[in-house]
Amino acid sequence: MGGGNTKEKVRKGPLVWLGDCPIIRHLRDWGIKYSLWPVHFTTACCGCEIAAFSGPKYDAERFGVLPFFSPRTCNLLLIEGTITKKMAKAVKIIYEQMPDPKFVIAMGSCALDGGLFWNSYNIVRPHKIVPVDVFITGCPPRPEAVLRSATMIQDKIGGGRLRLSEYR
Amino acid sequence: MSGEDRYIELLWGPQHPSSGHMRFIVKMDGDVVSEFYPDPGYRHVGIEKIAETKTYIQIIPLIERPAILDAANLNFVYVLALEKLLDIEAPPRAQYLRTMMAEFNRIASHLYGIGIFGIMIGSSTEFMWAFGDREIIIELMQMVGGARLTYSYMVPGGVRNDLPDGFKEKALKGLKYIERRLEDHKRIFLENAVTLSRLVGVGVIKKEEAIKLGIVGPNLRASGVRYDVRKAEPYGAYPELDFEMAVREEGDCYARLMVRIDEIKTSIYLIRQILDKMPSGPILHERFMRYLAKWKAYMERMKKIKFPPIFVSLRPPKGDSFARVECGRGEATCYIVSDGSTNPYRVRLVTPSFRNIIAFKYSMPGHRLADIPSIYGSLDYFPPGADR
Amino acid sequence: MSTDKVLNKVKGICKETRTKDKRIVLIVEKEKMKELAKELRDMGFDHVKSVTGIDYPQKGQMEVIYHISSYQDPELMGIIVEIRTTVDRDRPELPSLVDIWPSAEYLEREEYDLMGIIFKGHPELKRLLLPEDYEGIPPLRKDFKIPTEGIEA
C-alpha cells in the first residue's frame, strides 16, 4: 500500500476496497510522490543548506518540493539541526497540525544524536518526539544529500522498491 | 473602544515564513505597532558551557557554528584571543591568507542577507539571483578550505592549507563575474519602484540613538557613525591594505541595504590587493613547526600542514585576553580566561546578532504591520547567532 | 599617551589599576561602580561591548566584568576599558548600569538568566534564553555538571 499512515484513517467498508484498486492506488501514490511540500520551518544552522537547496543550483522544485506556509496544507516536515526544549513544543504542535499522510526527514548530525552539542543541557533528540522516516548525516549535509533523501521517500511511497541493504 | 480592549497581542511565532527561528510578541493598536518584544532562545545550546569541557583546539568547530555563514570571521576572533594568551603572532603569509578568507566570507554573508531580505518583501527573483551568485564564492572557498561552509581554517599559529595551483586566475575570474552581476541586481531590485516605496523612510534610526543602543555593523554605518574595527584596531593583514569605509547618513532600511552593496564592492577591491601582494613563506609559526621536522617534504608537496601533537595538550599560561573582529554582520568579541590546564576556565563570546536585538525593541513602535518584515530583513538578524 | 590621561582621571575611585597594550583594567568596589561609570561616560566612552560573569566557588565569590569602549572619539576608539568587581556568591546583587549606558540592557539580562546575578534597577529582568518554566540552578555555575568525554570519575 502507499506510504504514511493512511491505514488507520480510512474507514472500513466499500471505501477500503475502492482505495485498494490498482488504478486508484497508483494515481494516489503518483499524486503524493511528486508533490511533497515541506513546511516553512527553519530550525537551526542547517537552514542555510535548505535555502541553498531551494536555490537555482540545486533546484528542489523539479522534484516537486515547494516550501509552503501553512502546516495545514503541507505533508513533509524537515527537521534541520538542533532541537532545543523550547523548540520541541513547537515541533510537536506543527506535526499534529499536518494532515495524513505525512513524512518526516531528520537532517544533520544534531538531529541524529546531538552532533557537536551532544552534552548540552538544552537539547532533545527528534526521534523521541516524532516518528522519523529518513535520517541524513553531515554537518551541514550537502544539498545533494537532501535531494537524495527526497527521492528515497518517493521510492518508499512508490511501493516496495526500496531495499534496506542498498542504503546502508 | 477604549482602555485595554483596543490593544491586540499577536504572537508572531517560530513557524512563519518571515520570522526565522524566533518569536515576536507584538502589541497592536489597530494597524500600528505600539510595543514590540523579541523572544529569542529557540536555539540556545549553551556553547559557553560546552566550551569548558573541551580542549582549546576542539573548541574551534564549536565557535564557528553560531554564524555559520560567516564561519571564518568567528574563527578569527577566537584564534586572535588565543594567540594573545600564548603571546605569539602568525607569519605574514598566514595573515594574508586569513584576511583573504575573511573577505570572501563577508561577500557570501552579505549576498545571503540580501537574498533573504528580497524574499521577505516578496521578490523571489532576488532570492534566486543572490543565492546563485553566492555559489560562485562558495566554490572558491571550497578550493582552499575543503568544505562548503565550515572549514575550521585557522589554527593558533597560522592556517591549515596553502593555496592550490591556479587559484589566482579562477578567483579573479569569479570576482569579475560578481561585479558584472551587481549591475543586474540594480535593475531588478535595488532601483525597483516597489522596493523604493517600501524601504525609503521606513525604520529610521538616528545617529545618537544608534550610539546609545550600541548596535553594530552595517546598521551602525548606515546611520552616519564612522566606526569599523578594521580601522579602529587593525588586525591580520589590514594595516598594509587601504580601503574606504562605506557610510550613509539617512539611517532607513534602504540605506542599510545600500551599505551592504558598497561593502561587497570594497571586499572585491581588497581581495585583488591581497592576491597581488601575497608574500611567500611558511604558514605556521616556528614554535609548532619544529615538531614537524621530518614531515617537511610531505607538507610542501601536499600544500597543507600535519597537526603537531602539542595541539592535543596545549596549556596556555594563566591569565585572560580579549579580542574583537569585524564580522559580516558587525563586531564580535571574545574573552578567554585560562587557569593553566588544557580546558579553558571561561569563554565569553558576544556575536553581532546578539548586540542587534535591542534595535527591534526601540525601532519598531510607530510603524504599520506590513513594515515589520522590511525592518527585520534590513537589520540582517540571524537567530542562532544571538542564541548561541 | 591617551591611556595615561584616562588613568589619571579615575585613579582616585578605583582600588587597583593596571594596563597592558591598549587595555586598561580597573578594579573597583561595587558601591563605587556608578560613580566610576559616570566619570567614564563624561570622558567619551559611550557603549558597552560585553558583560561577563565568572564563578569562583572555592573563594565563595563571583566576578563581574564590563568591557567599555567608544564609537565617536577617534583617540579613544582603540582603547578598551575593563571594569571588574566582585560580589558574594550567596547573594549576588549589584547596581545595574542601564541608566548610564542603555546598550547594556540585553547583556545584563543574559547574565541574570544563565548565572543568577541580580542587577538592581534593571527595567525588565526576566528570562531571555532559557524556557520560562526552567527550575534549578543557573547553568553556567560550576556546580551544574554536564557529561564530558572520556572516563567518568
Q: How many helices (H) and strands (E) does chain B have?
A: 17, 8
**Is A123 contained in some domain?**
yes
- Asked whether the beta carbons of residue C140 and residue B48 sit closer than 8 angstroms, the reply is yes
- Asked whether the beta carbons of residue A42 and residue B43 sit closer than 8 angstroms, the reply is no
**Is A164 contained in some domain?**
no
Which of chain C's residues have a Cβ under 8 Å away from the Cβ of B44?
Answer: 129-130
- Which residue in this structure is represented by grid cell 577617534? C74
Strand pairing partners for A39? Answer: A68
Which of chain A's residues have a Cβ under 8 Å away from the Cβ of B127?
Answer: 55
- Amino acid, single-letter form, for residue B11: L
| CATH, residue A105 | 3.40.50.12280
Instruction: Write the pLDDT tens digit of every residue in B1-47.
Output: 566 678 888 888 888 877 778 888 999 888 899 989 988 888 899 89
Cα distance from B337 to chain C (closest Cα, Å)? 9
**Is A1 contained in some domain?**
no
**Is A4 contained in some domain?**
no
Q: Is A51's Cβ below 8 Å from some Cβ in B?
A: yes
**Is A92 contained in some domain?**
yes
- Nearest-CB residue to C147 (from A86, A119, A122): A119
Which of chain C's residues have a Cβ under 8 Å away from the Cβ of B47?
Answer: none
- The strand order across the sheet containing B32-39 reads B7-12, B23-29, B32-39
Q: Is C131's Cβ below 8 Å from some Cβ in B?
A: yes
**How many domains in chain A?**
1
Per-residue pLDDT of chain B (388 residues; tens, 9 = 90+): 566 678 888 888 888 877 778 888 999 888 899 989 988 888 899 899 999 988 999 999 999 988 888 899 999 999 999 999 988 999 999 999 999 999 999 999 999 999 999 888 888 889 999 999 999 999 999 999 888 888 889 999 899 988 988 899 999 999 999 999 999 898 888 888 888 998 998 989 999 999 999 899 999 999 999 999 999 889 988 999 999 998 999 889 999 999 999 999 999 999 999 999 999 888 888 888 888 888 888 888 888 888 888 888 889 999 999 999 999 999 999 999 999 888 999 999 999 999 999 999 888 888 998 889 899 999 988 888 888 8
Q: B382 Cβ partners below 8 Å, 6+ apart?
A: B20, B67, B69, B329, B353
Q: Which domains does chain B have, with CATH numbers?
A: 3-387 (1.10.645.10)
Cα distance from B280 to chain A (closest Cα, Å)? 33
Instruction: Write the pLDDT tens digit of every residue in B151-198.
Output: 889 999 899 988 988 899 999 999 999 999 999 898 888 888 888 998
**Is A45 contained in some domain?**
yes
Residues spanned by the domain of A116: 9-157
**Is A3 contained in some domain?**
no
Domain ranges of chain C: 2-91
Which of chain B's residues have a Cβ under 8 Å away from the Cβ of A52?
Answer: 131, 134-135
Per-residue burial over B331-364, b if 16 or more Cβ lie within 10 Å, else e, is bbbbbbbbeeeebbbbbbbbbbbbbbbbbbbebb
SS3 C50: strand
Cα distance from C144 to chain B (closest Cα, Å)? 10
Q: Is B124's Cβ below 8 Å from some Cβ in A?
A: no
Q: Is C71's Cβ below 8 Å from some Cβ in B?
A: yes
- In 3D space, the residue among B292, B8, B7 whose CA is nearest the CA of residue B155 turns out to be B292
Confidence of residue C39 (pLDDT cuts 50, 70, 90): confident
- B:145-184 residues touching chain A, CB 8 A cutoff: 148-150
Query: How much is the ipTM here?
Result: 0.92
Instruction: Give the neighbours of chain C: at least 3 Cβ pairs within 8 Å.
Output: A, B
- Assess contact for A108 and A46: CB atoms under 8 A: yes
Q: What is the pTM assigned to this prediction?
A: 0.91
Q: B330 Cβ partners below 8 Å, 6+ apart?
A: B215, B216, B217, B218, B219, B220, B352, B353, B355, B356
**Maximum alpha-carbon separation in chain A:** 53
Assign domain C2-91 to its CATH superfamily. NADH:ubiquinone oxidoreductase Nqo5 subunit (3.30.460.80)
